[in-house]
Structure 1
């Protein structure tokens, strides 16, 4: 009797329909939660976010170079390091190192990235190597 049980089984259309719905929902649930699937809108948002971060990092690197090229860079660095962490980005913005030529306003997050990078330096003159544009 039991060996023929599966052979004799004939599911109804209703059972087939709900089985397919459940399998589809389970596949989507696993795909979106664990397999890294994403919607087109989310992918677009992620790409824009990554581009914004890349622009901010590039602008921060240029900010650091602009800061280091100042005549009184060592004293500016000492002033920056004397400030509390949350006031450093304001100091960098007020100094004008964040704004780049042709930009009406600075990108979000650039001042804090620039200040964080500058705070890691010991001295400007010691860390100032040959400029990438000087060919040396």
Structure 2
């Protein structure tokens, strides 16, 4: 195809402009792909569900008849094992679920009064 010489700068400018708009849009304009948006929405909804379930975990711990022994076990556990101790206590297992949720256990642990009896 023979393109006139006067058209080539316009074509090159359009290509460079399109690339520049794409770079600026994805870098600073807040654009994102559909998969990134889905991932972000999933993380936000998971975080919201965990936040909503923390009071349930705290209530389970407050109503547990063996609370003091379990709290002592949690207190005695090393810092990085405390989440597992909360999971073993059963406080991070929601009704209808068969296993404890690690994220819920961590959030519940941060709200439990570990130093108080």
TM range, smaller chain: 0.7 to 0.9
TM-score if structure 2 supplies the norm length? 0.80
Moved over 4 A (4+): none
**TM-score normalized with structure 1 length:** 0.71
Match of 1:70 in 2: 64
1:24 to 18, 29, 32: 18
**1:12/1:104 CA distance change after superposition, 3 Å:** farther
2:112 is paired with a residue of what secondary structure?
A: helix
User: How many residue pairs were aligned?
Assistant: 113
Match of 1:87 in 2: 81
Q: Counterparts of 1:82 and 1:49 in 2: how far apart (Å)?
A: 32
The residue number in structure 2 matching 1:36 is 30
Give the superposed CA RMSD: 2.1
The structure with more radius of gyration: 1
More divergent stretch after superposition (49-58 vs 73-82): 73-82
Give ranges in structure 2 of 5+ residues lacking alignment: none
- Does the CA contact (< 8 Å) of 1:56 and 1:107 recur in 2? no
